[in-house]
Structure 1
Amino acid sequence: MRARLAAAGLVAVGVLLMANPLYLPVPIGDPDPAYTHTVRPVESGSPVAGIETPDVGNGTAAGVVDYDDLDPAARAAFDRALDAETGFDVEDPDDRVDSLSYPTDPTLGDGLLVVEYEGARYEFWTRTVEREPGAVVAQRIAVQPVAFLAGFVAVLAAAALGVRGRSEGTGERRRR
């Protein structure tokens, strides 16, 4: 009887531990935002490939922005992102460029500009990326896999107890 209770308890604990993705990670703290800047050439499959230069003015929401029409801080951010292969991030909100927007879901004119620079067109993406706090990342990398593995071992132990209990029970019946 004890073996059955122990096996049932191990199964319950094992299933609970293996189901940890349902309740882990526990959010600790607020997301940590980063502000990204990325520049890449406009290619044929790009969502902005058909954008044309407006006839009048330099409307950023309606067309292509000439590099020289960007304010100096935006030009510096464009140059830095162009030079960096994967763009660059800033952590501090004060380090963002005031003339650029940083939405979480950029659209043309709001976080996405088409910039004409030296005869080529580039997509200039600026966005806010919310990263998970370090404690949540640690839960995903360490706690969840270890808990799942411990749950799996508990279920295996319960199965072993059940098999052992049956084999012992069968042996006692034969002796009688």
Structure 2
Amino acid sequence: MRTPLVVVGLLALGVCLMANPLYLPVAVGEPDPAYTHTVQPAGEGAPVGPESPIDPDAGNDSDAVVAYADLSPDARAAFDRARDSPEGGFGVEDPDERVDSLSYPVEPTPGDGLLIVEHEGERYEFWTRTVEREPGGVVAQRALLQPVAFLGGFLAVLAGVALGLRGRLGED
């Protein structure tokens, strides 16, 4: 009589543990934002092209096309630092290190986090954005707890099936 109850319990436990991506990770803190600055040449291979609302060949009448000289000194320094960086950009974590004259949206749009900067006859895309990183506890849940719980659930289902089959085969 106890064997069917144990089988059902193992199967239920296994299914709950295997379904852990539905309820894990549990938020254990606020997202940790970082503020990125990226510069890349504007051209055919860049996201700005014929299908974009910004036409890199258009005149300076577009809101998102800015002459390098028109940038604030802090924005010029950030532009130069991102352009000269081997990675094509840099990030800061402290909100006080952001440039006040630039916006940092989560999803940049032309004129808001994406500027076309004309500098020395070349046009560059200057992206500024906020990247929300998950807290360390959530990363640990995703990397350790979820796989271990899934594996434990899979093993519990296997044990329940094996116990159920052993009980049936033993009765025959």
The amino acid that maps onto 1:146 is V
The answer to whether structure 1 residue 17 and structure 2 residue 17 are counterparts is yes
Deviation at 1:127, TM superposition (A): 0.8
CA contact (8 A) 2:43 2:56 kept: no
Aligned to 2:131: 129
How do 1:110-149 residues align onto structure 2 when only pairs under 5 Å count? 110-149=112-151
How do 1:20-169 residues align onto structure 2 when only pairs under 5 Å count? 20-44=20-44, 46=48, 47=52, 48-50=54-56, 52-54=58-60, 62-84=63-85, 85-169=87-171
Unaligned runs of 5+ in 1: 56-60, 171-176
Unaligned runs of 5+ in 2: none
Give the distance between the partners of 1:159 and 1:86, measured in 2 at CA: 55
TM-score by length of 1: 0.88
- The CA RMSD over aligned residues, in Å, is 1.5
TM-score by length of 2: 0.90
Deviation at 1:82, TM superposition (A): 1.0
The amino acid that maps onto 1:166 is R
CA contact (8 A) 1:53 1:65 kept: no
Aligned to 1:58: none
Give the distance between the partners of 1:23 and 1:51, measured in 2 at CA: 49
The amino acid that maps onto 1:79 is D
Q: Deviations over 1:86-127 (max 9, x none)?
A: 411100000000111111121111111100122211110001
Give the distance between the partners of 1:118 and 1:131, measured in 2 at CA: 35
Tell me which stretches of 4 or more aligned residues in structure 1 moved more than 4 Å.
none
CA contact (8 A) 1:52 1:63 kept: no
Secondary structure of 1:27's partner?
A: coil
Give the distance between the partners of 1:31 and 1:74, measured in 2 at CA: 26
Aligned to 1:174: none
Deviation at 1:51, TM superposition (A): 5.5
CA contact (8 A) 2:4 2:164 kept: yes
Bigger Cα Rg:
1
CA contact (8 A) 1:39 1:122 kept: yes
